[in-house]
Structure 1
Amino acid sequence: MMRNQQSLPELLQELTEESTTKVKLAVTDIDGVLRGKLISLDKFRSVVEKGFGFCDVVFGWDAADQAYDNGKFTGWHTGYPDALAKIDIGTFRRVPWENDLPFFLAGFQDAPCPRGVLKRVIGQAKEMGYQAFFSQEFEWFNFLGKGGAVAAKDYGNLPPLSEGMFGYSILRASQGSAYFQDLFDLLEKFDVPIEGLHTETGPGVYEAAILYAEVLEAADRAVLFKAGVKEIAHRHDILPTFMAKVSAELPGCSGHVHQSLWTADGGQNLFYEAGSATGISSLMESYIAGQLYCLPYILPMYAPTVNSYKRLVEGAWAPTTVTWGIDNRTTALRALPGSATSTRLETRVVGSDSNPYLAMAACLASGLYGIRQGLKLEVPATRGSGYADKGLGVLPRNLWEAAQAMKQSPLAAELFGEAFADHFVRTREWEWRQFSREVTDWEMKRYFEII
């Protein structure tokens, strides 16, 4: 499904008639970070159909632009050549906080492109006769200050946007009204519609639910939401963070993914079954069974950073076990039976720091795996605390354990292709190695004087 229904000639005519001189293009790297450039309208005309070269270093470095030393796809051994990127005119938007600057997303061919991975999984769903509708919701902390000044202080002792543990607070939202209202209104104009926005438990924490859409559009919206929040916040002298955990004393930040499968024409929600005891269909049960089976082997696609696993701890509103339940917020998977339009699955293990393309690809691919394999949902729904239900095991405890589970299982290669699985695991091993060589504040406080 394409958002923009204009033909290319119509689009180019519109941009020409309004005297547009430049266009912004963006791609997404492995960590879900937007990388892009401004180009002239003439340049856009020359590359919009044939594609353009973009340095493949975006798949050869980490979020801090440090070059991987274990890469296979690209590196010093390849010379970091250009990879072919293709513009998706269906992603056409205007950036309202940049004078309605025209904006497009692009994706790569023959590269470990996250958007491309999701598109391939969507192709599998279509071959099976399904159309997937998804949405993602995010929690994130907001601090007072701008990036440069805050970075100089190592992000320490930051004043939050608001004080106190005050979820669903009308007062706190009103106190930060200009920023709060701009998020809702400007993101709407950016074609990233917000279904709901409220404060969450924790100082300066917001939560937003993005309106559901066909899964590729949903992932585009989620990626652009995170980037848009950061750009809007900057204009209010606010620094947001989508880290999964900013403090041991405060709840973590989730990026829950809601999902349902529909008929190819989008006319019927195949997760809904009025006559069943639970209100969910046997197809949805197989989808859940697939996610439960695959979850321990693809966890880095939901929890991709060292910090991700600080969130996945007991009693912190994030799952630690391979569990499912009906409207149970302590399990990894939360089934939400309802009407013929609202019945869906919420995958709660996903963190706010996830790459939306990869998180949604993992959800969809593992659910489809359960359907293809005819898996039955034989484990009963967890009642009460999911932390205590360890019948199917617990999740890997850190990024290294999760990456090794993914590396040693054939599942990731089966679901996402061998080349991507290999590249992604290498990047997560690199991430763990960078962390492991650092001396933390905790170590200094614990060992400096006593040991």
Structure 2
Amino acid sequence: MALSTVSPPAIPTPEELWARAAEELATAGVKGVTIVWADNNGIPRSQTVPIDQLSSAAAYGVSLSSLFAVLDSHDGTTFAHEGLSTPSGEVRLVPVIDRLVRLKGQPAFAWAPGRQLGADGCPTAYDQRSVLERQVERAQDAGFTVRAGYELEFYLARDAELTPAHRGPAYSPTALLRVDEFAAQLLTDLAADGVPVGQLHAEHGAARLKVSITATDPISAADRQMLARQTIHAAARAQGLRASFAPVVDVAGIGNVWRLHSSIWRGRENLLVGDGPHGLSKAGAGYLAGLLRDLPAIAAVTAPSVPSMTRLRPSAFSGAYAFWGIGNREAPLRFLPSTTMLGSAHANVEMTPSDASGNPYLALAVVIGAGLAGIEESLKLPDPIQDDIGTWTEDKRSSLKIRRLPITTDEQIAVLTENPRIEQVLGADLAGAYRAVRRSDHLWAQDRSIEDVIEGHRWLY
């Protein structure tokens, strides 16, 4: 029997695939690709390349100053970190092509998250996305996977003077009716951009809305959080509105929490479900205990800005003290157990001291790192607290060793410096840059009124 002489089809090279993608996008009317990353203040930063440069950007990246790692919230560069103490240095910002999305609300542009690579083609020590990738790999090496998702709260204004787009009441269909066109466009655009939504509703307080993003793997969760911001801003602009994700929008307001939900799994088994105390498995209890132990340092990453600390008020559902509870909205770690109706897949822990000023990749990385350390060390979980402990006396809180979460930059720096586990997650170089940025933000804010500080952060995220 004669052998076939027909050659198998050639496998396209990555460059050929990138060129095809660029051609398809250009034919559809896309003019440019915006490559986005989040800095150490949670602020999205970007570089945009013309669509005919996509293949080159995917192969070689685009030039980026290494000093973005020490850029503070107000675009000031601090040289207080020894590793980045001169204006010299360059990295390459490379788009993650398999996350490329044509933006429904900005049809002339595509969007992709970026990675910061050095001259050797490897991630730099300051690349926040790789910090999260390392923790995901650490979990996998230990036989675990993590699922995570964000709830995004934001203020919807009719103008820069903060005229509210709706005046409530919370959870009311009437409130949503007042922003009906925006709500419809937002749900349409998020779906088209590949951001699955669990729900949308009017939150407590005038003009506030919440979008819940469906849980997924941690890297996708961080990417979706970044993409959702862009989509929300574009939908608001299309309707003549403006969205603010700031932790505090005005002194009298409630502020915006970005609740971070997570769960730890072994195969198809959610380890936040078990036959141990409080309905947890041993590993699930260790995960939660790890989060609780490191919560002050975690909060310095997940809610790091000066307005973030202003928002952490007792008896305000903001999670001002380090403790955990079952369904307790005052708890910064709120355990949501499985139920007969929802099943075991829905058990998760919600972290409240989390907002838009926290880089989502770093936020998820420190959560995973702290939780894994708790499992590795078989930490014991104290009993949950179901009260509003803001109403307790200081003596009562002290007797249970319940600490207030950091409310000054000095306290943030101290808990970060003294926590070897969080330092190890971030890496020494990035941890040093991160602390320098926090000090720079503090210096900017220290001689300003709280009203001016809040106004200065209002439209950053």
1:14 & 1:442 partners in 2: Cα distance?
A: 46
Which residue type is aligned with residue 162 of structure 1?
A: H
- Are positions 1:320 and 2:324 aligned together? no
- Are positions 1:37 and 2:47 aligned together? yes
- TM-score normalised by length of structure 1: 0.87
Query: What corresponds to 1:113 in structure 2?
Result: 127
**1:53-202 alignment to 2 at 5 Å?**
53-75=63-85, 77-79=86-88, 81-99=89-107, 101-108=109-116, 109-145=123-159, 150=160, 157-164=161-168, 166-202=169-205
Q: Given that residues 302 and 363 in structure 2 are in contact (C-alpha distance below 8 angstroms), is that contact kept between their aligned partners in structure 1?
A: yes
Deviations 1:295-319 (A, max 9, x none): 1233210211000011111121111
Which residue type is aligned with residue 350 of structure 1?
A: S
Cα deviation for residue 352 of structure 1 reads 3.9
1:128 & 1:417 partners in 2: Cα distance?
A: 20
Q: Could you say if the C-alpha distance between residues 29 and 397 of structure 1 is closer, same or farther in structure 2, counting changes exceeding 3 Å?
A: closer
Higher mean Cα deviation, 346-355 or 311-320? 346-355
Query: What corresponds to 1:376 in structure 2?
Result: 380
Cα deviation for residue 28 of structure 1 reads 2.2
Which residue type is aligned with residue 348 of structure 1?
A: T
2:374 & 2:276 partners in 1: Cα distance?
A: 19
- Secondary structure of the 2:258 match is coil
Query: What corresponds to 2:20 in structure 1?
Result: 13
Q: Could you say if the C-alpha distance between residues 400 and 144 of structure 1 is closer, same or farther in structure 2, counting changes exceeding 3 Å?
A: farther
- Secondary structure of the 2:98 match is strand
Cα deviation for residue 267 of structure 1 reads 2.5
- Secondary structure of the 2:100 match is strand
1:211 & 1:442 partners in 2: Cα distance?
A: 35
- Secondary structure of the 1:213 match is coil
- Secondary structure of the 2:434 match is helix
- Secondary structure of the 2:105 match is helix
Query: What corresponds to 1:402 in structure 2?
Result: 412
Deviations 1:221-264 (A, max 9, x none): 1122123212221222212111212234332211111111123x
Q: Could you say if the C-alpha distance between residues 30 and 352 of structure 1 is closer, same or farther in structure 2, counting changes exceeding 3 Å?
A: closer
Which residue type is aligned with residue 278 of structure 2?
A: T
Q: Given that residues 407 and 422 in structure 1 are in contact (C-alpha distance below 8 angstroms), is that contact kept between their aligned partners in structure 2?
A: no
Deviations 1:149-198 (A, max 9, x none): x3xxxxxx53111125x110100101110111111110111111211100
Structure 2: stretches of 5+ with no match in the other structure: 1-11, 117-122, 454-461
Higher mean Cα deviation, 61-70 or 197-206? 61-70
Q: Could you say if the C-alpha distance between residues 321 and 22 of structure 1 is closer, same or farther in structure 2, counting changes exceeding 3 Å?
A: closer
Q: Given that residues 185 and 235 in structure 2 are in contact (C-alpha distance below 8 angstroms), is that contact kept between their aligned partners in structure 1?
A: yes
Which residue type is aligned with residue 296 of structure 1?
A: P
Higher mean Cα deviation, 56-65 or 177-186? 56-65
2:144 & 2:207 partners in 1: Cα distance?
A: 40
Which residue type is aligned with residue 134 of structure 1?
A: A
Question: How large is the RMSD of aligned CA atoms in angstroms?
Answer: 2.3
Query: What corresponds to 2:280 in structure 1?
Result: 280
1:7 & 1:169 partners in 2: Cα distance?
A: 53
Deviations 1:74-130 (A, max 9, x none): 35x242x32123321221111112226332211112141222221121121111111
Query: What corresponds to 1:341 in structure 2?
Result: 345
Q: Could you say if the C-alpha distance between residues 99 and 226 of structure 1 is closer, same or farther in structure 2, counting changes exceeding 3 Å?
A: closer
Cα deviation for residue 10 of structure 1 reads 4.3
- Secondary structure of the 1:105 match is strand
Q: Given that residues 280 and 343 in structure 1 are in contact (C-alpha distance below 8 angstroms), is that contact kept between their aligned partners in structure 2?
A: no
Q: Percent identity over the alignment?
A: 23
Query: What corresponds to 2:447 in structure 1?
Result: 437
Cα deviation for residue 30 of structure 1 reads 1.4
1:272 & 1:102 partners in 2: Cα distance?
A: 40
- TM-score normalised by length of structure 2: 0.85
- Secondary structure of the 2:248 match is coil
Query: What corresponds to 1:232 in structure 2?
Result: 235
Higher relative contact order (CA 8 A, sep 6+): 2
Q: Could you say if the C-alpha distance between residues 173 and 7 of structure 1 is closer, same or farther in structure 2, counting changes exceeding 3 Å?
A: farther
Query: What corresponds to 1:260 in structure 2?
Result: 263
1:110 & 1:30 partners in 2: Cα distance?
A: 14
Query: What corresponds to 1:366 in structure 2?
Result: 370
Deviations 1:23-52 (A, max 9, x none): 332222212222223223442212313434
Q: Given that residues 347 and 363 in structure 1 are in contact (C-alpha distance below 8 angstroms), is that contact kept between their aligned partners in structure 2?
A: no
